[in-house]
Amino acid sequence: MSNINLIQETGIGEGWEPLLPGLIILLPLLGFFINGVLALWEAKKSAAIIREGNEDTTAGLNSSKAHSWPGWIGPGVIGVAFVLTLINFVRMLEGEASEPIIREYWTWMATGSLEIAAAIQIDQLAIIMVLIITGIGFLIHIFSVGYMHGDPGYPRYFAYLNLFIFFMLILVMGSNYPVMFVGWEGVGLCSYLLIGYWFDQEEKASAGKKAFIVNRIGDFGFLLAVFLLFTNLGTFDYGSIFARGEEVFEYGGPLVTTITLFFLLAAVGKSAQIPLYIWLPDAMAGPTPVSALIHAATMVTAGVYLVARSSLLFAMAPVSSAIVAGIGVFTAFFAATIALKQYDIKKVLAYSTVSQLGYMFLGVGVGAYTAGFFHLITHAFFKALLFLGAGAVIHSMHYALHQTHKDWDAQDIRNMGGLRKCMPITWITMWIATLAISGIWPFAGFFSKDEIIWMTGSIAGADNAPYPGLYTVYWVMALVTAMLTVIYMTRLMIMAFHGMNRTGSKEFGHLHEAPKHMWIPLVVLAVFSVIGGWINVSKDIQQSFLGGFGNIPMAGWLHHWLEPVTESAHHIQEIHWGAISHSAPLGGGEVAWGALSTTAALIVLIVTVWMVRSDKISVATEDSDPRGLSKVIYNKWYVDEFYGHIFIRTLQRLSKFAWRIVDIKIIDRSVGIVAGGMRALGWLASLTQSGQVNTYAFIFTVGILLIFGIVIF
Amino acid sequence: MLPESLILSALIFVIGTMGVIVRRNVIIMFLCIELQLNAVNLTFVSLSRYLGIDGQVFVFFVMTVAAAEAAVGLAIIISIFRHYGSVDVDNFRMLKW
């Protein structure tokens, strides 16, 4: 406290002063440089070994220095960044600043009226994101040390991972949209690099390309939205945009609706929502810790962050908000149905992520920015845990299958079964995450998901709700999706961990619990998956038996904490929508529906356990192909095929037309005609060039006479 | 006096020019060029009587240049003749490219 008092006396900051905020960003960059140099060095060395034709020594490379250093540097820089963030966070808690802290480092661009500063901003929203990114990022880095051990690209992996954290921090800490866009593009790049990490397999390399190209569509929306903001407000800074937005834009006007819809396009691309969600399941081609960090906990939530950050603009555009919520809830439902019939453990989790991101969109779409952001936080905990758990399972399966040279798929849950005997820690922590994602009390997911669903229902019953019927539909869909979530997660757990083992008796002996630096992150995340939801318990629930009769600590904290960021949006909403209702569309209060949903989830869970007969499951190679509706769901509603037909085939035809007709017949031909004409002219002119000196002399004389003639007469 | 000498020099110049254009023998063409130069010299000299000494001074320069040109030109002609055994300008069309 003495520090803070000192600062207040000297008047440097308002209540608190951040400690080295730039260093939080720079540390991962430093890690990237060191690991990058090591990776280049390594590549040079292994290239020399391959040239000498001595491949046995590649095994010796793994134990070399280039392979032990990244394991320290990679997690190390993130760990230090996390500690710095934590210090800042604690200071901020004590300081109670309402104004964001902005640090301007230099002028990035200055032309005419446009001036963009390379500046970072730390406020209540950003610091939570930074805590998640560095905190969970640190755990995942530690996990990676074990998971990626022995991979020939080890330093390259950590270089990319550090670079990702760097760009993600820029994304959330930028103080204006262009800086955010730098991070936005940067994380896309790192996502591409890490999905295609094993670039020697074509299918993985093209999965990276798919992610990158689909994200381009969203980036285009981001840029257009930012340009529109600039032409109307003449600035890019969050502070001035949100301060003047309310007077410049008209509530529900076409301009603000257009801007927010373009922002929505950006968010939909980054956060894998309908119609641009198709890249995320393919992104599972990357290493599993990457899926946990980038494609579950941090990068894919950037869209939600964008909407929460621009909450004022979205609050002023009820149409856009309704579309955000609609896209969210429809994606949540749609992805959950696909997850029901997937067999790849990572694919199930990928569709689950798409589905949960849909919930977050629903939250921010109905104007419950805190609830959406709250689900982002809890989801980061339990989904990272699920992915890391899946990573541990795959690691173990892969090892076992490798030992006995069986060419089965290490990720197919039909090939697992009974893993709880071999990997008890993974088993227990993954069950905790499953209960959390299923929204079962008192795990983290219950509080966040319940608040989103509750807020959707409340908005439907608000005095002047813009589309009460629509919001009621959203509410029902959200409830149904919550039950689907329970089904697919329970199915995954039962098939992977319970019943008889189907991997094979010889392989079963090789299955093992994950090493220490892999299970410790699991346990830490499991703890947060349990208590993470307690930071934001609504008043009604807090006072009832669900909140331990007011005994849950920190209840309602997040809502209060985010108020400086969201209050203006909430204010606009209150003016135009009126008071929200205190009962769900079917009647009943928050506590009743909370209790009902957790009971329903439990019942569904028990029924699913009973329905999934793990002794009836046959392994992947012997399993019969799904039929009927299951086949459609197994093939992901044929959306990829549909897109392939509509967009890719059309594009290919268009390209063919451009090539055969436009390029060859029109452009090439016209160029040929011009060239031919020039050649003919040249031939004509060359006739005068006989090489005869006399002719030249004659022409010369005539020319001179002509000039004389002109001059004299 | 002036008109006559100017007419004479013009005649010589035209003869020289026609020679360069019409004749094919390089030596003749060369002589015709000399004719042109000397026609100009004659003009200079005749005009110097009325316009001052400058014209006569200029004639010396022209003669010097003509001498140098003759030396170089004849050397080229000789070497062409040694190479091809001919001084007919129709055979030498290398200037085309």
Distance from CA of B29 to the nearest CA of A (A): 9
Q: Is the CB of residue A363 less than 8 Å from the CB of residue A372?
A: yes
Task: Please report residues of B whose CB lies closer than 8 A to that of A689.
Answer: 96
pLDDT tens digits, residue range A636-659?
888 888 888 888 888 899 999 988
CA-CA distance, A493 to A427, in Å (whole number)? 8
Selected for mutation to probe chain A from B14, B20, B76, B89 (highest A CB count within 10 Å) is B20
- Count of A-B CB contacts under 8 Å: 29
Task: Please report residues of B whose CB lies closer than 8 A to that of A692.
Answer: 89-90, 93
Distance from CA of B80 to the nearest CA of A (A): 15
Q: What is the reported pLDDT for A13?
A: 45
Task: Please report residues of A whose CB lies closer than 8 A to that of B29.
Answer: 693-694
Nearest residue of B to residue A699, measured between CA atoms: B21
Q: What is the reported pLDDT for A45?
A: 79
Q: What is the reported pLDDT for A65?
A: 53
**Are B22 and A701 inside 8 Å of each other by CB?**
no
Other Cβ atoms less than 10 A from the Cβ of A685: the count is 9
Judge whether residue A625 has pLDDT over 50: yes
What does the pLDDT average to over A458-474? 84
CA-CA distance, A317 to A20, in Å (whole number)? 37
Amino acid letter at A394?
I
A689, A691, A694: residue with CB nearest B21: A694
Q: Is the CB of residue A579 less than 8 Å from the CB of residue A463?
A: yes
* Peptide bond connecting A28 to the previous residue in cis, omega within 30 degrees of 0: no
Q: DSSP letter for A625, please.
A: P
Q: What is the reported pLDDT for A53?
A: 59
Task: Please report residues of A whose CB lies closer than 8 A to that of B89.
Answer: 692-694
**Are A693 and B94 inside 8 Å of each other by CB?**
no
B17, B24, B95: residue with CB nearest A691: B95
Q: Give the gyration radius of chain A's Cα atoms.
A: 30
Q: What is the reported pLDDT for A327?
A: 94
Judge whether residue A151 has pLDDT over 70: yes
pLDDT tens digits, residue range A329-340?
999 999 999 998
Instruction: Read off the pTM.
Output: 0.79
Other Cβ atoms less than 10 A from the Cβ of B38: the count is 18
pLDDT tens digits, residue range A84-122?
999 988 888 887 666 788 888 888 888 878 888 889 898
Q: Is the CB of residue A430 less than 8 Å from the CB of residue A385?
A: yes
Residue whose structure tokens are 């005609």: A673
Residue A149: C-alpha distances to residues A1, A422, A465 (Å): 44, 21, 55
**Are B20 and A694 inside 8 Å of each other by CB?**
yes
pLDDT tens digits, residue range A373-405?
999 999 999 999 999 999 999 999 988 888 888
pLDDT tens digits, residue range B8-32?
999 999 999 999 999 889 999 999 9
Distance from CA of A691 to the nearest CA of B (A): 4
**Strand, helix or coil for residue A35:** helix
Question: pLDDT averaged over chain A?
Answer: 86
Give the helix, strand, coil percentages of chain A, each rounded to 5.
75, 5, 20
CA-CA distance, B33 to A709, in Å (whole number)? 23
Q: Is the CB of residue A396 less than 8 Å from the CB of residue A497?
A: no
CA-CA distance, A252 to A245, in Å (whole number)? 12
A689, A691, A698: residue with CB nearest B21: A698
Q: What is the reported pLDDT for A568?
A: 86
**Are A693 and B89 inside 8 Å of each other by CB?**
yes
Three-state secondary structure of A369-414: HHHHHHHHHHHHHHHHHHHHHHHHHHHHHHHHHHHCCCCCCCCEHH
Distance from CA of B91 to the nearest CA of A (A): 9
Task: Please report residues of A whose CB lies closer than 8 A to that of B96.
Answer: 689-691
Tell me the two tokens of residue A59.
């095994």
Q: What is the reported pLDDT for A67?
A: 63
Distance from CA of B33 to the nearest CA of A (A): 11
Q: What is the reported pLDDT for B38?
A: 93
A689, A692, A701: residue with CB nearest B90: A692
**Are B17 and A701 inside 8 Å of each other by CB?**
yes
**Are A689 and B96 inside 8 Å of each other by CB?**
yes
Find the chain A residues whose C-beta atoms sit closer than 8 A to any C-beta of B: 689-694, 696-698, 701
pLDDT tens digits, residue range A301-311?
999 999 999 99
CA-CA distance, A675 to A377, in Å (whole number)? 65
Give the pairing type, strands A114-122 and A101-111: antiparallel
Other Cβ atoms less than 10 A from the Cβ of A527: the count is 14
Nearest residue of B to residue A693, measured between CA atoms: B89
Q: Is the CB of residue A355 less than 8 Å from the CB of residue A481?
A: yes
Question: Which are the contacts of A70, defined by CB distance < 8 A and separation ≥ 6?
Answer: A35, A38, A154, A155, A157, A158, A159
A689, A694, A701: residue with CB nearest B89: A694
Higher pLDDT, B25 or A544: B25
Read off φ and ψ for residue A116, nearest 5 degrees: -115, 125
Residue A12 pLDDT grade (very low, low, confident, very high; cuts 50, 70, 90): very low
Nearest residue of B to residue A692, measured between CA atoms: B93
Task: Please report residues of A whose CB lies closer than 8 A to that of B17.
Answer: 697, 701
Residue A4 pLDDT grade (very low, low, confident, very high; cuts 50, 70, 90): very low
Find the chain B residues whose C-beta atoms sit closer than 8 A to any C-beta of A: 17, 20-24, 29, 89-90, 92-96
Task: Please report residues of A whose CB lies closer than 8 A to that of B14.
Answer: none
Task: Please report residues of A whose CB lies closer than 8 A to that of B95.
Answer: 691, 693, 696
Selected for mutation to probe chain B from A694, A702, A705 (highest B CB count within 10 Å) is A694
Q: Is the CB of residue A365 less than 8 Å from the CB of residue A317?
A: no
Q: Is the CB of residue A283 less than 8 Å from the CB of residue A350?
A: yes
pLDDT tens digits, residue range A343-380?
899 999 999 999 999 999 999 998 889 999 999 999 99
Read off φ and ψ for residue B88, nearest 5 degrees: -80, 125
Q: What is the reported pLDDT for A172?
A: 93
Higher pLDDT, A675 or A690: A675
Distance from CA of A49 to the nearest CA of B (A): 57
Q: Find, among A472, A467, A432, A434, the residue nearest to A453 by Cα.
A: A472
CA-CA distance, A588 to A565, in Å (whole number)? 31
